[in-house]
Amino acid sequence: MWPQDPSRKEVLRFAFSCRILTLMLQALFNAIIPDHHAEAFSPPRLAPSGFVDQLVEGLLGGLSHWDAEHFLFIAEHGYLYEHNFAFFPGFPLALLVGTELLRPLRGLLSLRSCLLISVASLNFLFFMLAAVALHDLGCLVLHCPRQSFYAALLFCLSPANVFLAAGYSEALFALLTFSAMGQLERGRVWTSVLLFAIATGVRSNGLVSVGFLMHSQCQGFFSSLTKLNPLRQLFKLMASLFLSVFTLGLPFALFQYYAYTQFCLPGSARPIPEPLVQLAVDKGYRTAEGNEPPWCFWDVPLIYSYIQDVYWNVGFLKYYELKQVPNFLLAAPVAILVAWATWTYVTTHPWLCLTLGLQRSKNNKTLEKPDLGFLSPQVFVYVVHAAVLLLFGGLCMHVQTTQAVLHTGHPLGPGRC
């Protein structure tokens, strides 16, 4: 059981209030503001909807727009279209587990309505647990309960919070990532590896988390050099790094292999309902029943890279267009904050950064009292993580999503105790 911690209870209470308010506002604005008719994925409803289904759609339909439609579609029908493989299976599987708990209501509700209820309830739970996990992580890394508490509150209040409420995978990914980071700080390396691997099955950018494992294991290696056999420790380090990278990358590799079996091997196509076949014809979506896609013939057939390039135009500087200036302005506050935090940390701890966080001072005999808060030496790897996400997001991703990526992937912000 969790220890009794007043600040943790306050975080839970605040996260609960924020989520209730978010759900109420989305229901209100979904009712009074007409939906924007964008060229987004919008599959037809195959099952008839009754009064209760319409009520659920009215109350929770605001959680199902944009990319949420992909997750709901995958949970209901599976991976039928090629571009569905941009969305990893962890969150749809969680939704299916949630719908199983609603099985007694299936006579009253359609599967779509059960999925919407699962989205609202599961993301509600994931969000609150993620806020608590972030608070606990902050206490371990920052050594400053007050700043850890404020970090959790800002996590709840961030504008990117909308991604944690809607039918997106961000809330589950944040919970798994923050929990994995906390386990790693407690020295439970393989529990952390398992949680990071599950997170990679939820979102592809979980692969970046391998940096935390590599840094932690290298720290252990250098700290043991003077006490134990160096050659034996080096062998142990190499084995640990290999197992960590293999375990973390396994969900990604298995998902790519599953896509290969569906689109590149003969006789593996699944039957598709006629309305969804017609949608594929009308919109130009590729299904497994068509010709083999070009990525099947690559030396390394990765459907994920192909989809990001062809369907979402993701690539180096591809998003740098004049019409995207508003989106760059939208992402500017979080980009400036991360850049400023990185600069502050590097200028404060130049030697620590030059030695990749493995040595605090040129003279280990004259170590000063560790800094608290954001300037703690333990924060180094988190600063690097944020800087890498910012650099990659700014150069290769749709820049307005950088805010959400940093919000759920980088937990600790600047400040002092």
Residue range 172-227, pLDDT digits in tens? 999 999 999 999 999 999 999 999 999 999 999 899 999 999 999 888 888 777 67
Residue 367 vs residue 42, higher pLDDT? 42
287 forms bridges with which residues in the sheet?
A: 81
Q: How many Å apart are CA 409 and CA 185, to the nearest integer?
A: 16
Domain membership of residue 139 (yes or no) is yes
CA 72 to chain centre: 17
Query: Are both 12 and 154 inside the same structural domain?
Result: yes
Q: For the residues 263-291, what does the mean pLDDT come to?
A: 84
Residue 412 CA to residue 417 CA, distance in Å, equals: 13
Q: Which domain holds residue 351?
A: 322-409
pLDDT at 314: 74
Q: What pLDDT does 367 receive?
A: 44
Q: 301-327 pLDDT, tens per residue?
A: 999 989 988 887 777 776 777 777 887
Whether 100 contacts 70, CB under 8 Å = no
- CA dist 74 and 27 (Å) reads 24
Cα separations in angstroms, 219 against 254, 366, 410? 30, 20, 21
% of the chain with per-residue pLDDT over 90:
43
Q: Contact, 358 vs 222, CB < 8 A?
A: yes
Does 416 score more than 60 pLDDT?
A: no
Confidence of residue 366 (pLDDT cuts 50, 70, 90): very low
Question: Does the structure show a pLDDT above 90 at 417?
Answer: no
Compute the distance between CA of residue 119 and CA of residue 92 in angstroms, rounded to an integer.
10
| 330 vs 235, residue with greater confidence | 235
Using the predicted structure, report yes or no on whether residue 2 has a pLDDT greater than 50. no
Residue 376: its pLDDT value, please?
Answer: 87
Q: Indicate whether 241 belongs to any domain.
A: no
Contact, 85 vs 261, CB < 8 A? no
Looking at residue 363, its pLDDT comes to 53
User: Which whole number is the average pLDDT over 254-273?
Assistant: 87
196 and 62 share a domain?
yes
Task: For Cα atoms 9, 191, 202, give the angle at the middle one, nearest 5 degrees.
Answer: 80
Residue 286 lies in a domain: no
Whole-model pTM: value is 0.89
Output the pLDDT for position 97. 93
Final residue in a domain of this structure, among 183, 202, 221 = 202
Residue 258 lies in a domain: no
377 vs 410 pLDDT, higher one: 377
Q: Quick check: 405 pLDDT over 70?
A: no
pLDDT (tens digit per residue) in 58-100:
888 889 888 899 999 999 999 999 999 999 999 999 999 999 9
CA–CA–CA angle 338, 344, 181 (5° rounding):
55
3 pLDDT more than 70: no
In this prediction, residue 273 has a pLDDT band, given cuts at 50, 70 and 90, of confident
Distance CA 124, CA 78 (A): 24
* Number of compact structural domains in the chain: 2
Q: Is residue 379 one of the residues assigned to a domain?
A: yes
Mark whether 23 and 166 lie in a shared domain.
yes
Choose the final residue of a domain: 176, 202, 228: 202
* Secondary structure of the chain in HEC code, one letter for each residue: CCCCCHHHHHHHHHHHHHHHHHHHHHHHHHHHCCCCCCCCCCCCCCCCCCHHHHHHHHHHHHHCCCCHHHHHHHHHHCCCEHHHHHCCCHHHHHHHHHHHHCHHHCCCCCHHHHHHHHHHHHHHHHHHHHHHHHHHHHHHHHCCHHHHHHHHHHHHHCCCHHHHHCCCCHHHHHHHHHHHHHHHHCCCHHHHHHHHHHHHCCCHHHHHHHHHHHHHHHHHHHHHCCCCCHHHHHHHHHHHHHHHHHHHHHHHHHHHHHHHHHHCCCCCCCCCCHHHHHHHHHHCCCECCCCCCHHHHCCCCCHHHHHHHHCCCCCCCCCCCHHHHHHHHHHHHHHHHHHHHHHHHHHHCHHHHHCCCCCCCCCHHHCCCCCCHHHCHHHHHHHHHHHHHHHHHHHHCCHHHHHHHHHHHCCCCCCCC
Tell me: pLDDT of 282 over 90: no
Q: What is the reported pLDDT for 4? A: 47
| Residue 262 in domain | no
Mean pLDDT of 105-123: 90
Q: What is the mean pLDDT of the chain?
A: 85
Regarding whether 328 and 191 lie in a shared domain, the answer is no
Domain check: are 198 and 327 in the same one? no
Distances (CA, A) of 2 to 8, 23, 205: 10, 28, 29
**Chosen domain end from 180, 202, 224:** 202
CB 167 within 8 A of CB 121: no
State the pLDDT at residue 86: 92
Torsion angle in degrees (nearest 10) through CA of 377, 338, 192, 133: 100
Q: How confident is the model at residue 234 (pLDDT cuts 50, 70, 90)?
A: confident
Hunting for tokens 């134990």 — which residue is that? Answer: 228
pLDDT of residue 398: 64
| Residue 195, in any domain of the structure | yes
The answer to whether residue 156 is domain-embedded is yes
Looking at residue 414, its pLDDT comes to 44
pLDDT digits (tens, 9 = 90+) for 119-149: 999 999 999 999 999 999 999 999 888 889 9
**Whether residues 183 and 330 fall in one domain:** no
pLDDT, tens digit (0-9, with 9 covering 90-100), for 388-403: 888 887 777 665 566 5
Which residue, 379, 377, 357, 356, is CA-closest to 368? 377
